Structures are given as C-alpha cells and as structure tokens.
Amino acid sequence: MDRLGLLADPAVRSAFGRELGRSIEYHASIGSTQDRARELARSDASGPTLVVADQQTAGHGRGEKSWLSEPRASLLASWTFRPAPAEPALFALLAGVAVTKALRPLGVADLGLKWPNDVWLTGGKIAGCLAHGAADHVVIGIGVNVWQRELAPEIAETATSLRRAGHDIDRLALLARITSQLDVIADPANHPAALTEWRRRSITLDREVEVTEAGIAPFRGKAVALADDGALVVETPYGQERVIAGEVRVLG
Ligand code: BTN
C-alpha cells in the first residue's frame, strides 16, 4: 500500500503538514522538487516548507548528474531549513544518516552509507541526498528508490530499490519519518552522534578508493577517516588528502 498520492487532497496535505510542522506543496509531476523548493525559499522568508512530487521530469543528482525516476516509484522531496543548521555538504551527509534512521523502524536493516551521502542496501544505491545553501537557509533534497521493479539501464548496475530488496514501503510513512529525522539532525547538538552513526554504517571507510575531483588527476588511496566537517580523509603514498567534493569509487 502506498499513500503518498493522498497529499493531492488539500485537507490531507494541510493536516499532514501541521503534524510535520511544515507547509507542504505536492506535485503529481514537476521538473525538480529541489528547484521548486529553492525558488520558494528565495521568494518567501516564512516557515519551513516541504516540496514533494510523484514524478520529476528533470531531477538533479550531485554534480552535473541527473536523477532518474519513473512515475510513482520514488520518494522525491525537498525540505527547507531556515536558518541553515550546517554547511550544505555536511547537512547532506547527515541526511544520509536521517534516511537510514527513518528506514530502520520500517523494517529495513543492513543499510550502508557511501561517502558522501548515498544510502546503500544489498549492494546497490537506494537513496541520495543533495543540499543547496544560501545565506539564511539550506534546501535538502532526497530521492529514495522505493517501488521500482527495474532500474533505468544507465543506473541498473549500481542502483536498487526497496522493493527489489524485498521491502514494500509506504512513501507517505517514509516521508514522515525522514522529516522527523531531518529535524533531529538539524539540531547541531545532535551532529556528533550522527557523525558517529555515519562512521558506523560507512561502506567507504577502511577501503581502497579512487577519488575523482574537478581540476585534478584522479588518485587512489585508503579512506581512513571522516572528519567532523564531513570531509573524507584519504591516505595516499604522498600523504593524507582531505576530500570535500568529488566522486569516490570504492575499489574491491
Ligand atoms: C545524488 O545522489 O546524486 C543526489 C540525488 C538527489 C535527488 C533528489 S530527488 C528530490 C530532489 N529533487 C531533485 O531534483 N534532486 C533531489
């Protein structure tokens, strides 16, 4: 059973929004919830918002990547936090922890976190997080593969879905739980515990990795630590490198 479409009803939306402490904008289809939430955040300095969609036609992933999703298969949402609770990169990393904490009570265990903010399950990516900051707010966008039977050929090798891993998850329940967990990590007092949880669930730490960053040649080394600002510390033959942006591929 999936109840996300109930948000199309304004009465349900407003009751649910009151429960979550945010005003909710629901779209059956939109280009990108992230673009819309950023637009709202720029134009409206009022309370917290949540933009959610049943389909995105131009979803963004990290970097220049797009985020592919078929209709009604994914949880696609963007939340605005004002003031910004952390630097965008750190908040996106902690959002990965929020997703794992939201899924745990819904019966999904064995979740792993790949630096910086990918959530993995049974050898495939099921969720990704993206944050955009401005002077007085941050917009966090999360996409979770929920009901897909097959993934698009471009991502089929590395991605999976909750359904493919044997979990039937109601996107409305997941939305509520992720929102609560984001509210937890939005409190800086909870950052140390969330970072500890990230390190515990990491599938990147203690592994050989290849790092690709714009403007420099790819390099390899061992991921030895996660710094408190979210940087990945990689031990190379030439010393330690702090990776703040870029792609990390786990080698074997
Ligand atoms: C990544 O892993 O590359 C981050 C993916 C983030 C995707 C979500 S889906 C909801 C929100 N709207 C977007 O356009 N992107 C984010």
Gap from CA of 4 to ligand 1 centroid (Å):
18
Do residues 95 and 182 touch, judged by C-beta distance below 8 A? Answer: yes
149 confidence band (pLDDT: 50, 70, 90): very high
Overall average pLDDT of the 142-171 stretch: 95
Same-domain check for residues 27 and 90: yes
- Does residue 188 share a domain with residue 229? no
Say yes or no to pLDDT of 202 above 90. Answer: yes
d(CA 208, CA 225): 12
Res 47: pLDDT: 80
Same structural domain, 142 and 243: no
User: What integer pLDDT is reported at residue 4 of this predicted model?
Assistant: 97
- What's the confidence (pLDDT) of residue 19? 97
Alpha-carbon span 148 to 108, nearest angstrom: 16
Which of 162, 179, 201 finishes a domain?
201
pLDDT recorded at residue 214: 84
Sign of the torsion formed by the C-alpha atoms of 79, 80, 86 and 87:
positive
Examine the pLDDT at 137 and tell me if it is beyond 80.
yes
Q: CATH number, domain at 17?
A: 3.30.930.10
Question: Within this chain, do residues 40 and 135 fall inside the same structural domain, yes or no?
Answer: yes
Q: If you measure from the C-alpha of residue 62 to the centroid of ligand 1, how many angstroms do you get, rounded to a whole number?
A: 7
> Residue 246: pLDDT above 90?
no
pLDDT tens per residue, range 203-241? 999 999 999 988 889 999 999 999 999 999 999 999 999
Ligand 1 pocket, Cβ-based, cut-off 6 angstroms: 32-34, 56, 59-62, 65, 67, 76-78, 118, 128-130, 141-143
**For residue 74, what pLDDT is reported?**
97
Task: Write down the pLDDT at residue 216.
Answer: 87
For residue 252, pLDDT beyond 80: no
Among 52, 130, 146, which is best to mutate for testing ligand 1, by the most ligand atoms less than 8 A from CB? 130
> Are residues 14 and 72 both part of a single domain?
yes
How many whole angstroms from 43 Cα to the centroid of ligand 1? 21
CA–CA gap between residue 36 and residue 184 (Å, rounded): 24
Q: Residue 216 sits in which domain range?
A: 208-250
* Domain identity same for 154 and 230: no
Instruction: State pLDDT tens for residues 32-77.
Output: 999 999 999 999 767 889 999 999 999 999 988 999 888 999 999 9
**Ligand 1, atom 3, residue with closest C-alpha:** 61
Whether residues 215 and 98 share a domain: the answer is no
Provide the mean pLDDT of the chain: 95
d(CA 123, CA 111): 10
Are 212 and 194 part of one and the same domain?
no
CA dihedral 218, 224, 229, 231 (to 10 degrees): 10
Give residue 191's pLDDT band: very low, low, confident or very high (50, 70, 90). very high
Query: How many domains in the chain?
Result: 2
Whether residues 117 and 36 share a domain: the answer is yes
CATH number of the domain at 220, please.
2.30.30.100
- Which residue among 50, 142, 155 has the greatest number of ligand 1 atoms within 8 angstroms of its CB, and so is best to mutate? 142
**Domain co-membership, 151 together with 185:** yes
- Cα–Cα distance between 52 and 29 in angstroms, integer? 9
Pair (112, 188) in one structural domain:
yes
Q: pLDDT of 24-34, one tens digit each?
A: 999 999 999 99
| Distance of alpha carbon 189 from alpha carbon 195, whole angstroms | 11
Domain match, 164 and 106 both? yes
Query: What are 194's strand-pairing partners?
Result: none
Instruction: Please tell me whether the overall predicted TM-score, pTM, comes out greater than 0.95 for this model.
Output: yes
Torsion on CA atoms 137, 143, 146, 148, rounded to nearest 10: 160
Q: Please report the pLDDT score of residue 52 as a whole number.
A: 98
